[in-house]
Structure 1
Amino acid sequence: MSRVLVVCYSYTGTARRVAQLLCSHHGWSLGEVRDAGPRGTLRCVLDSLLRRHPAIRYEGAEPRAFDIVVLVAPIWMYRLAGPMRSFVAARRDQLPRVAVLATMSAGGATNAYAEVAQLLGHAPVACAAFLQREIEDGSATTRLLDLGDELDGAAVKPVAQPVRTAPA
């Protein structure tokens, strides 16, 4: 069984940069949630506000083959991005150990952690939030890679408590 799979959804590319950095540094596999069709900003906002499950497609390895799945997604309107919500809801039985990494402009990460926990029926093993400006200027890199090191170690042993909760 492989150790860690990173699954990201990224509308603007910010969450994808986070996922790619983790994967390149740790040698992890990357899966990507994509919109099934074109989506505009208004629809993205409404999907988040109304907690809708938009149609998606997933490109990547099967999550059940990994010890931990790291979900990397943006926060929109203080909620989890709709496409990641769709992914978690559709594959909840394949996601026994999940970490949630949120990218955001201002806030809402704790709402996303709670939503993922509610969809899965159990809490994530780790949660962290990164501001978009921290990602763009590189100031989040050390914290991100340190969290990745902790998750890499956690993949080989059971985790009873969350590794770390680190909202920005």
Structure 2
Amino acid sequence: MGKVLVVSYSYTGTSRQVATTLAGLQGWATGEISEERPGRGDGRCVLDSLLRRQPPIRYEGPPPEQFAAVVLVAPIWLYRLAGPMRTFVARYRERLPAVAVVSAMGGRGAPNAVAEIGRLLGRSPILSTAFLSREVEDGSYGSRLRAFGEAVDKAVEGTEVLRPSTLSPKTA
């Protein structure tokens, strides 16, 4: 069994950058979600979020059940979880071990996405954090991302986890 798998969905590339950086820092495996019918535009993203739809997806990566934990990395759309990640969680919920969540967002909504993932799984994620898109673009998220990765490693190892305070009231 592997240690940790990072699974991402990215519409603009920001979440993919976060996932790639996290996996590289920690030496973890990666998997990627893509839309079965890409290129349907921003309007579809808005409707998927508002209506909490689960659009058709493809997943390329190792089977999640072969890992001790899975870190889900996805964007926030209209204060909600991106539709393709919603589909992945619903489809794979029985095969997902411990889950941690990383959200990439323009402003707010990460707690909503974490709560939705918890409802879909029927259990709470072990850890979560969020980054503003501008933090990813300017690279200032690096130390917080590293701390999050280390906390996930400790949680998987069963050692005591010091949960860093990562969401400020302004960004939550």
Matched, 1:88 2:89: yes
Q: Contact conserved, 1:56 with 1:86, CA < 8 A, in 2? A: yes
Instruction: Assess, with a 3 A threshold, how the Cα gap between structure 1 residues 154 and 92 changes in structure 2: closer, same or farther.
Output: same
Query: Counterpart of 2:53 in 1: which secondary structure?
Result: coil
In the alignment, structure 1 segments of 5+ residues that lack a partner are none
Within 1, Cα distance between the matches of 2:66 and 2:162? 21
**Equivalence for 1:11:** 11
TM-score (norm 2): 0.92
Partner-residue secondary structure (3-state), 1:68: strand
Instruction: Give the paired residue count.
Output: 167
Question: By how many angstroms is 1:155 displaced?
Answer: 1.4
Amino acid at match of 1:13: G
Distance in 2 between the 1:10 and 1:29 partners? 17
Distance 1:50 1:81, change over 3 A: same
* Whole-angstrom distance in 1 between the partners of 2:76 and 2:165: 16
The two structures, once aligned, show a CA RMSD in angstroms of 1.6
Whole-Å separation in 2 of the counterparts to 1:58 and 1:145? 25
Q: Which residue identity lines up with residue 118 of structure 1 in the other structure?
A: R
How far apart are 1:96 and its partner, in Å? 2.8
Percent of aligned pairs with the same amino acid:
54
Residue 54 of structure 1 aligns with which residue?
A: 55
TM-score (norm 1): 0.94
Deviation at residue 26 of structure 1 after TM alignment: 1.1
Change (3 A) 1:49 1:164: farther
